[in-house]
A = this chain, B = another copy of it.
Amino acid sequence: MESGRKKIEWVSNFMPLLNYLKKEYKGVFNSTKIGMAIHLEAKTAYLAITLKELGADVFVTGCNPLSTQDDVAAALSEYGITVHAKRTHDEKIYFNNLNKVLDHEPELILDDGADLSVILHTERTELLKNVKGISEETTTGVRRLLNLQEKGLLKVPVIAVNNAKMKHFFDNRYGTGQSTWDSIMRNTNTLIAGKNVVVAGYGWCGRGIAMRAKGLGANVIVTEVDPIKAIEALMDGFNVMKMSEAAKIADIVVTSTGVKDVVKYEDILNMKNGVILANAGHFNVEIPIEKIEKNAEKIFEARENVKGYIINGKKIFVIGEGRLVNLAAGDGHPIEIMDLSFALQTLSLIYIHKNYKNLENKVYQYPEELDEKVATLKLKSLGIEIDKLSEEQREYLKGY
């Protein structure tokens, strides 16, 4: 509890936007009931506290059975927030807790992955009438809700926080970029400079990972299936080749493609002794962990968070079981990145709270003006002023 409180206080130092919103919108929620499903750790806890201070009654549960930090959960209760969350391997307990949050009859839902929203729409439909809207921040969650919408089952308005520019431009590039290498360095103590680092996928995450690997002195090799992205990688100064070739010279492999089996088991057979594998994609499907586990001659704990496998007499190391390396074996995104995302979420909830009567039961893109507002607040928090278009310049642009 003491440790949980300390963690929350630490992150509060680096969340200027939530701190600002707490003041600007003080009391806005006026006892509205908000149900939240989140990875319950210090940063999300501070989001819950923020919503509480904005006047909401807040009910929190986890969005993944294993991601709840119990000391933070305990501390959160002390802030007057109702917490139904516990780190557990028991999925029943997990779903039970989701339902307990729904039992409070929330009016607004803040979801991460859409488990809460899907239960609401399938098993607890009697509660839908209370709900003004949902704010969902993940790609996966947005997809699930779009699926509901396509089938005509979506019964409340949804705002796709994930689609905000201030979310996906920043979270993926600067967040994943840094936290992936933070995790790999702390868990291995190996040198990055001069290493052959293979980055699978040159989407926003892959760009961030490759950029930071270069910044740490690595020789970066990118693999891609999209020829256009492959040429971008090339012109950004990276080597580009097939995974089957890259695998042979890799010292470290990081996957972030969103696709399964991006590293094939055959690739692993060709890797050098001592290679290190990590996944920065959402699901643990990019590295063929099951085949590795099945075929390894020996399996051992090599270091905290690092498993070693002997395959064909060579050692293969996998960080964090092939799960999202920055979360499974680190502290997740840097605090300031989450401050941006949480400001987007908070504003989206306020938006729904104020406008729900005019909203349809569909998935909305993130409102542009709120996206810009978050950017503007961030600049303000940094004391940075930028230019504004003059009336004349606006006119000029129309005349194109």
Chain A residues with CB under 8 Å of chain B are 6-7, 9-11, 13-14, 140, 143, 165-166, 169-170, 173-175, 177-178, 182, 185-186, 189-194, 211-212, 214-219, 223-228, 230-232, 234-243, 245, 258-262, 274, 285, 301-303, 306, 315, 317, 330-332, 334-337, 371-372, 375-376, 378-379, 382, 384-390, 392-393, 396-397, 400
Between-chain CB contacts (< 8 Å), 21 pairs = A14-B190, A166-B231, A175-B191, A177-B193, A178-B193, A191-B335, A193-B235, A193-B237, A194-B237, A215-B216, A219-B238, A225-B387, A227-B375, A240-B379, A240-B386, A241-B386, A242-B385, A259-B389, A259-B397, A260-B396, A261-B392
Complex alpha-carbon distance, A258 and B219, angstroms: 27
- Within the complex, which residue of B9, B215, B231, B392 is in contact with A260, where a contact is CB–CB below 8 Å? B392
Shortest CB-to-CB span from A22 to chain B, Å, is 16
Shortest CB-to-CB span from A170 to chain B, Å, is 7
Complex alpha-carbon distance, A384 and B223, angstroms: 11
Check if B215 sits within 8 Å of A334, measured CB to CB. no
Complex alpha-carbon distance, A382 and B230, angstroms: 12
Check if B186 sits within 8 Å of A385, measured CB to CB. no
Closest 5 CB pairs of A and B: A215-B215, A227-B375, A191-B334, A182-B185, A191-B336
Complex alpha-carbon distance, A143 and B217, angstroms: 32
List of B residues within 8 angstroms of A371 by Cβ: 228
- Within the complex, which residue of B11, B228, B303, B334 is in contact with A375, where a contact is CB–CB below 8 Å? B228
Complex alpha-carbon distance, A378 and B10, angstroms: 43
**Known: A185-B182, A242-B386, A386-B224. Is A260-B393 also a contact (CB below 8 A)?**
yes
Given contacts A174-B193, A186-B331, A227-B376, 13 further A-B pairs with CB under 8 A are A10-B189, A13-B274, A173-B235, A175-B191, A189-B332, A191-B337, A193-B235, A214-B237, A216-B216, A231-B379, A240-B386, A259-B389, A261-B392
**Known: A239-B219, A241-B384. Is A230-B13 also a contact (CB below 8 A)?**
no
Check if B261 sits within 8 Å of A225, measured CB to CB. no
Complex alpha-carbon distance, A375 and B240, angstroms: 13
Complex alpha-carbon distance, A222 and B108, angstroms: 40
- Within the complex, which residue of B190, B212, B378 is in contact with A215, where a contact is CB–CB below 8 Å? B212
Check if A228 sits within 8 Å of B387, measured CB to CB. no
List of B residues within 8 angstroms of A386 by Cβ: 223-225, 227, 230, 240-242
Shortest CB-to-CB span from A119 to chain B, Å, is 19
